Chain A
Amino acid sequence: MVDFNKPKSVIIAGVGGQGAITVAQLVLSAAWKSGYYVLQSEVHGMSQRGGEVNAQIIFDKVPVTSPVVTQGEADLLIGIEPLETLRYLSQMSKDANIIASSEPVINMDNYPKIEIILEKIKSVEGAVLIDTLKAAKELNNKHAGNICILGAASKFLPIDNEVWEAVIRERFESKGEEVVMSNIKAFQYGKKFTEA
């Protein structure tokens, strides 16, 4: 089902404190546990202070040596903040898929009008916008957004559902069974956005 003429590359973009690195680590472990060779690069210089954060993941059936995607050739963008999604569009290949949250993090004076940002994202071929605020309400879990987006993005990654559930479990186990289950629920909820 999956064409592996070249490695698969994923970019995760967000704002410091949003959990972009956690999402990246879930993708990384899921790819690893699925038997792929995988590398991930993170940039979070002063992101603790609310700056931009991005992580890139490359995986393949043969050993990977570069943790950095060639600009303009990435396959999948997981944007957990709309302005950050726009920022990383130039990294994407022609046929790339883009899964983006519609919920802005406004911690700057010159944040553009959110309607314009969402309009721009919608105009991009292969982009799916997810109302994470609504998802959080419906799931009654204010932290559901990121995992929900990951669920939607999983359609474009050659990783089995059991592996996803296993890595989610591993990541949230220390917080108790309830947290694990609510995250698995959020993942399944997100999957619906990209079901054919």
Chain B
Amino acid sequence: MKIDHRDMMVLGDEAVSYGAIDSGLKAAYAYPGTPSTEIVEGIQAIFKGNEQGRIASWVANEKVSYEMALGNSYVGFRSLVTMKHVGLNVAMDPFMNSALTGIQGGLVLVVADDPGMHSSQNEQDSRYLVDFAHLPCLEPSTTQEAYDYTCHAFELSEALGVPVVVRLVTRLAHSRGMIKRKEEMTPVESLGVPKAECKNDWVLVPSIARKRYRKLREKLKKMLTVSNAYNKTSLSGHKRGVVLSGMGRAYFNQLCRENPNLKEYNMLNVCAYPLSLTNLRKFIQSSEEIFVFEENYPYLEDKVRDMGQGKIVYGRRDNSIPMDGELTPLLIKNCLGIELGESKKIPEFEVPARPPKLCSGCGHVDTFKALKEALANLGIKDPRIFGDIGCYTLGVMPPFDMISTCVEMGASVGMALGAAQAGYEPAVGVIGDSTFVHSGLPTFVSFAKSNVNVNLVIMDNRITGMTGQQPTIVTDVFEKMAESFGLSPDQIHILIPLPKHHEENVKYLEKVLSQKRPDLIIFRRECIQALRKGLYKEIDKQKE
């Protein structure tokens, strides 16, 4: 193997970054979310100092990201929007409807699923949502494919006139491998705004929406022609067949190295969706036993089972592979009945888990300590606190035991308000500054208008801490914002979570939590990780 100048060793996420840039990307938008964060970080790193009018930007949330990418597409440019799987729930509205409006410049959505929930609250499979929107999707299994498919996705988007989805999973997003970049970069060029005769296609009032929806359904045939070109079938006459996609394909191909007889199985490689049912039927007929290896819900498997009456199908539904959790080479080996290699004799020992914890010196620690003591002093045993998503979710752990819920971005505000209106008091919600901007803002309007004992604690470290300290869109504005939404200055409190302020913070909280009215309590102190890296210099400079 010779390394030439176009060979690079990159993360799966970064392969997408390069693919987008090499395809003439004008703008990329995202809200950070593991395992997708490194895509926009990668683009920012590659652009650094050489933007040439191109954009790679963090924005408030996934819905906003999608809408900005769509606006960029409307004026004719190629745009990228990236998110984690649950981010697509937030962006669902523009996602669904952009299928009807169609696109002008190529629009690519990269969504990274997290089977096994390495750092997520569920393991939903984005392929169902893509199906729901009647859009095409490419699913790479290696870093090279992540690069290639990203490049193809822009072309396909413009050829089909719809957004194209690229689906990643954690194992690919966070794997490093080689990519060979294409020789020529596509220049950044605008196709212009939609022509006068199709101007109204973008106005989804019912009369137009009905036409656009029909138009979208008519594109299915073209989409199938495209996906058929990706989904290679090989039939050998073997009684066994395998249906492979994503990491299932990667792991199976690797197993072929040591078990060459596997290469003789009939194979259907699914790299693109929608999947042609005609082709699937043909494939199913070719084999007696069919194995389905895909990540993570039994999406393909269910189709195989539906069509393969009388065939023996192995996958998640029959527990050959567990219904939940990440697919692994070991699970595939066991499912295929391949003998395992001999493993190391190891001593018996129960290895205790090493859970993550808040950094020593973190301001969240002081906030939780003060809150805990104040509630105890008010005689509230076993307090229930409505939590949110960020480092502070770790407040669920001892010794704090101060987070009772973690549902989705922004849930703390609404849940605390709902609980307070039902008579639970003092109701307390805990949220970070970045999560508040992401999804807490609309709920805060209702919060400020309420007249119940509800308390919102913003753990404000002026940065998006958990995903690697990306800048928050705005800093130090929450007090002004709360006032303009109708809270009086005595309902807005700014405290500093430091050990030396502990006693006064406890006393202060006791007073605030006893008031039958909404209160906003901002605990403001810099993230110590970001402080050590000197990241606030830039943030403060931009404020001036």
> A residues near B, CB below 8 A?
5-7, 15-16, 25, 28-29, 32-33, 35-52, 58, 60, 62, 64-73, 83-84, 86-87, 89-90, 92-94, 96, 107-108, 110-112, 120, 123-126
Contact = CB atoms under 8 A, between A and B. Distances in A.
A5 B259 CA distance: 11
Interface residues of B, number: 51
24 contacts: A6-B258, A15-B354, A28-B176, A35-B1, A42-B174, A45-B118, A46-B119, A46-B394, A52-B354, A58-B254, A64-B177, A65-B254, A66-B253, A68-B329, A70-B328, A70-B330, A72-B330, A72-B343, A90-B344, A93-B341, A94-B343, A94-B344, A107-B354, A112-B352
B177, B247, B250, B258 — which one has the most chain A CB atoms within 10 A of its CB? B177
A7 B257 contact: yes
Given A32-B178, A39-B175, A67-B175, A124 B391 contact: no
A89 B175 contact: no
Interface string B322-347: 00000011100100000011111111
Nearest to B465: A48
B425 to A, nearest CB: 32
B257, B342, B346, B391 — which one has the most chain A CB atoms within 10 A of its CB? B346
B253 A40 contact: no
Interface of B: 1, 3, 9, 34, 118-119, 141-143, 171-172, 174-178, 247, 249-251, 253-255, 257-258, 328-330, 333, 340-347, 349, 351-352, 354-359, 391, 394, 466, 468, 529
A120 to B, nearest CB: 5
B307 to A, nearest CB: 28
Contacts, number: 159
Contacts of B347: 120, 123-124
B340 A70 contact: yes
A38 B329 contact: no
Contacts of A58: 254
B232 to A, nearest CB: 15
A84 B391 CA distance: 23
Contacts of B357: 49-51, 107
A38 B175 CA distance: 11
A46 B356 contact: yes
Given A32-B178, A49-B359, A71-B330, A65 B344 contact: no
Contacts of A62: 257
B344 A92 contact: yes
